[in-house]
């Protein structure tokens, strides 16, 4: 018996991580693979039986895991992102939720034939989307402007709202009376907001106080933060069912936006934990699906899913963005971004059982139908969103901007030239003086660690298509290249050549653990710094038929180091140790030259 339990636990973790890896490798939404693996492991092969494995602990464990996922989602929300978009986010999470709830309930009753009570509950469940699907999709699409922040805020904030709404609808259904049920629902909303909001802020304040007074050692920061999250969730749920999800989301948002202490270590830990929890949750919940009820051939179910995508979502976005400053293409992108995630799966699994026990018909269809919605929306949005975003011009198909890891003086010189040439540039440095100097020059600069996972949510990468790792630390440069390879691709991450070499004269860092070497194999950080200390400068040289690249080399000699060229089509080409393009007349060459050469020009 113990061996059977061990195989079940191991299969959850193994299948979950393999699905995540395959999703990354194949550039597919990992949730689709998680659902497929869970269905194969559970109802099809019979290897995994979550109810036998966890017993009565199944749904409490699922609930706590969802709370941790939502807390991590809250850590990714910055109030600054709402500048100019706060009204739209507010409407999407209020008016949009109501419109989605009403229309989904009507369609579920009219098309699928579900009774009004369960149909209204289903509508409440399906107002959610969530960080489990939104954040990975946004990383892949990388929309420009505020539309990405709007989608992220909507997805994370809607989760606790949808969960609370579903609980209240469930309680009204059990009461059975409209008048008494309405008063119960209003009281529940009031208590959820009060208890959830207050306890969330209290939990965040407690963590800030403990960290600010150094009452927690570094090695206990993550365990203590996890303990506080679980305490806040349990306490809020004890006062009002499902208000705990709101509490942990509020706690995460409050911690992310406070300026008193650094939460970098907590954020990085929660990111890793989130991946593990999401992987396990989808495998577990998918393994519980009764295949005989999974009506893939039922045309009514697929019509229901299609109407959610092409009717409900556009209507709710139109109602939420009416008279807003969003452009038509930004609204169209919002039309096409509403995948459902783990909260919908978890909540539907709990309520379907309890409604069936209470004698309501058609409730057994809720879970398969919700999973069908998850599969359909994730597949359609996940596989088409990058192409739709580029078609709508809310994502740049060939971004030419540069992200600089390092904001020291000569990195700023290169960045200023590119900035003046209208290329987007972003600089990152852990030296505050460098960041301040970059901002004083009109450049976009962030005081941050380039290796932080949280950085991907803090900075805007609109129009950025490559990374130049220019720090004095060779290991940091290599890690930065690996950190951004999923975003920019292996061809778009560059780093300075390291100082350390192996015995045969080749660089010791293997190719798969580094970026492309910038400029030349000898252009280490020390080499470039010494050149600038000797008086070298960064120069922009327009090439013409009269003064072409050969004339440039004759004038500036072998000491010139070409860095990059700007083509006539406004494409940026970077010089590397392996690739040294010969610029043509009409292009602009950016290079490092000695001042003596410039005086002889």
Q: Is the dihedral of CA 224, 260, 407, 144 positive or negative?
A: positive
Work out the average pLDDT over 104-116.
88
The token pair that represents 133 in the structure block: 């699907």
Euclidean distance between CA atoms 136 and 87, whole angstroms = 25
Between residues 173 and 292, which one has the greater pLDDT?
A: 173
Ordered DSSP codes for 436-475: HHHHHTT-EEEES-TT-TTHHHHS--TTEEEEEE--S-HH
Euclidean distance between CA atoms 468 and 495, whole angstroms = 6
pLDDT tens-place string over residues 454-466: 566 567 777 788 8
Look at residues 564, 595, 591, 587 and name the one whose alpha carbon lies nearest to residue 425.
Answer: 564
pLDDT at position 102: 92
| pLDDT for 326 beyond 90 | no
| Domains in the chain: ranges and CATH | 58-391 (1.20.1530.20), 401-599 (3.40.50.720)
**Ranked by mean pLDDT, which of 188-197, 372-381, 574-583 comes out on top?**
372-381
Asked whether the beta carbons of 237 and 285 are under 8 A apart, the reply is no
Largest CA distance in the chain: 93
pLDDT at position 457: 58
Look at residues 41, 455, 471, 503 and name the one whose alpha carbon lies nearest to residue 267.
Answer: 455
Asked whether the beta carbons of 247 and 232 are under 8 A apart, the reply is yes
Instruction: Supply the DSSP symbol for 220.
Output: G
Phi-psi region of 130 (alpha: psi -120 to 50; beta: other; left: phi over 0): left
pLDDT tens-place string over residues 415-435: 988 888 888 888 888 888 888
pLDDT at position 232: 93
**Ranked by mean pLDDT, which of 69-78, 331-340, 345-354 comes out on top?**
331-340
Look at residues 143, 165, 155 and name the one whose alpha carbon lies nearest to residue 74.
Answer: 155
Euclidean distance between CA atoms 242 and 223, whole angstroms = 23
Lowest-pLDDT choice from 101-105, 312-316, 585-589: 585-589
Work out the average pLDDT over 514-535.
80
Q: Say whether 572 sits in a helix, a strand or coil.
A: strand
**Ranked by mean pLDDT, which of 89-103, 130-144, 289-303 comes out on top?**
89-103
Burial class (CB in 10 A: 0-12, 13-18, 19+), 258: middle
**pLDDT band at residue 293 under the 50/70/90 scheme:** low
Between residues 222 and 570, which one has the greater pLDDT?
A: 222
What percentage of residues in the chain have a pLDDT greater than 70? 85
pLDDT at position 204: 92
Query: In DSSP terms, which residues pair with 541 in a beta bridge?
Result: 589
The residue behind tokens 């018996």 is 1
Lowest-pLDDT choice from 202-211, 361-370, 464-473: 361-370
Euclidean distance between CA atoms 78 and 67, whole angstroms = 19
Instruction: Enumerate long-range contacts of 430-437, CB under 8 Å, 24 or more apart.
Output: 431/407, 434/406, 434/407, 434/408, 435/407, 437/407, 437/409, 437/412
Euclidean distance between CA atoms 527 and 80, whole angstroms = 40
**pLDDT band at residue 22 under the 50/70/90 scheme:** confident
pLDDT tens-place string over residues 25-78: 777 777 788 888 888 888 888 888 888 888 878 778 888 888 888 888 788 777
Quote the crossing angle between the two packed helices 264-287 and 342-357, to the nearest 10°. Answer: 40
List C-alpha distances in Å: 276 to 14, 22, 42, 264, 280.
10, 15, 19, 19, 6
Between residues 480 and 597, which one has the greater pLDDT?
A: 480
Query: In DSSP terms, which residues pair with 538 in a beta bridge?
Result: 592
Q: Say whether 588 sits in a helix, a strand or coil.
A: strand
HEC string for 85-152: CHHHHHHHCCHHHHHHHHHHHHHHHHHHCCCHHHHHHHHHHCCCCCHHHHHHHHHHHCCCCCHHHHHH
Work out the average pLDDT over 125-129.
83
| pLDDT for 600 beyond 50 | no
Euclidean distance between CA atoms 576 and 470, whole angstroms = 13
Instruction: Supply the DSSP symbol for 80.
Output: G
**pLDDT band at residue 598 under the 50/70/90 scheme:** very low
Contacts of 564 (CB under 8 A, 6+ apart): 572, 573, 574, 575, 590
**Ranked by mean pLDDT, which of 162-171, 494-503, 512-521 comes out on top?**
162-171
| pLDDT for 310 beyond 60 | yes
- Average pLDDT along the chain: 80
**pLDDT band at residue 514 under the 50/70/90 scheme:** low
The count of other CB atoms within 10 Å of the CB of residue 123 is: 25
The token pair that represents 285 in the structure block: 């919940």
The token pair that represents 582 in the structure block: 């010969």
Q: Say whether 590 sits in a helix, a strand or coil.
A: strand
Q: 588 — phi, psi (to 5°)?
A: -115, 130
Quote the crossing angle between the two packed helices 147-175 and 116-125, to the nearest 10°. Answer: 150
The token pair that represents 99 in the structure block: 């419109």
Q: Say whether 509 sits in a helix, a strand or coil.
A: coil
């Amino acid at each position: 018996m113990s061996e059977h339990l061990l195989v079940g636990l191991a299969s959850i973790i193994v299948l979950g991580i393999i699905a995540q890896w395959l999703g990354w490798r194949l550039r597919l939404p990992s949730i689709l693979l998680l659902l497929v693996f869970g269905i194969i492991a559970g109802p099809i092969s019979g290897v995994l039986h979550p109810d036998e494995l966890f017993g009565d602990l199944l749904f409490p464990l699922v609930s706590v895991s969802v709370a941790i996922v939502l807390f991590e989602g809250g850590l990714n929300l910055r109030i600054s992102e709402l500048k100019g978009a706060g009204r739209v986010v507010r409407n999407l999470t209020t008016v949009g939720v109501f419109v989605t709830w009403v229309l989904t309930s009507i369609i579920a009753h009219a098309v699928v034939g579900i009774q009004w009570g369960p149909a209204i509950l289903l509508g409440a469940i399906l107002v959610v989307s969530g960080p489990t699907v939104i954040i990975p999709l946004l990383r892949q699409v990388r929309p420009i402007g505020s539309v990405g922040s709007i989608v992220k805020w909507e997805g994370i904030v809607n989760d606790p709202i949808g969960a609370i709404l579903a609980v209240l609808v469930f309680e009204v259904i059990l009461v059975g009376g409209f008048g008494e049920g309405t008063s119960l629902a209003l009281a529940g909303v009031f208590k959820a907001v009060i208890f959830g909001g207050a306890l969330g802020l209290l939990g965040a304040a407690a963590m800030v106080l403990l960290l600010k007074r150094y009452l927690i050692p570094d090695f206990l920061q993550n365990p203590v933060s996890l303990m506080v999250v679980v305490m806040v969730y349990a306490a809020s749920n004890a006062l009002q069912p499902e208000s705990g999800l709101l509490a942990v989301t509020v706690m995460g948002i409050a911690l992310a936006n406070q300026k008193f202490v650094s939460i970098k270590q907590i954020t990085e830990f929660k990111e890793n934990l989130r991946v593990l929890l999401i992987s396990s949750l989808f495998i577990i919940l998918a393994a519980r699906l009764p295949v005989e009820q999974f009506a893939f051939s039922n045309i009514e179910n697929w019509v229901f899913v299609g109407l959610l995508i092409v009717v409900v979502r556009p209507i709710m976005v139109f109602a939420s963005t009416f008279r807003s400053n969003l452009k038509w293409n930004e609204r169209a992108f919002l039309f096409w971004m509403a995948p459902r995630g783990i909260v919908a799966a978890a909540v539907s699994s709990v309520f379907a059982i309890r409604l069936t026990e209470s004698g309501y018909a058609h409730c057994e269809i809720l879970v398969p139908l919700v999973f069908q919605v998850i599969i359909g929306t994730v597949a359609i949005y996940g596989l088409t969103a990058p192409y739709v975003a580029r078609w709508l011009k809310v994502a740049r198909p060939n971004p030419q901007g540069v992200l600089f890891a390092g904001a020291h003086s000569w990195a700023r010189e290169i960045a200023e030239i590119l900035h003046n040439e209208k290329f987007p540039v972003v600089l990152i440095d852990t030296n505050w003086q460098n960041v301040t100097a970059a901002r004083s020059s009109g450049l976009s600069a962030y005081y941050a660690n380039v290796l932080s996972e949280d950085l991907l949510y803090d900075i805007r990468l609109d129009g950025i298509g490559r990374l130049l790792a220019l720090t004095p630390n060779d290991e940091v440069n290599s890690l930065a290249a690996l950190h951004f390879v999923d975003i920019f691709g292996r061809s778009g991450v560059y780093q300075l050549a390291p100082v350390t070499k192996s015995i045969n004269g080749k660089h010791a860092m293997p190719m798969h653990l580094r970026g492309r070497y910038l400029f030349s194999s000898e252009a280490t950080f020390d080499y470039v710094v010494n050149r600038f200390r000797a008086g070298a400068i960064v120069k922009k040289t327009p090439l013409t038929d009269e003064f072409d690249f050969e004339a440039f080399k004759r004038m500036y000699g072998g000491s010139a180091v070409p860095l990059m060229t700007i083509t006539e089509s406004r494409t940026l080409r970077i010089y590397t140790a392996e690739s040294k393009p010969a610029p043509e007349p009409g292009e602009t060459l950016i290079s490092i030259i000695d001042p003596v050469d410039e005086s002889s020009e």
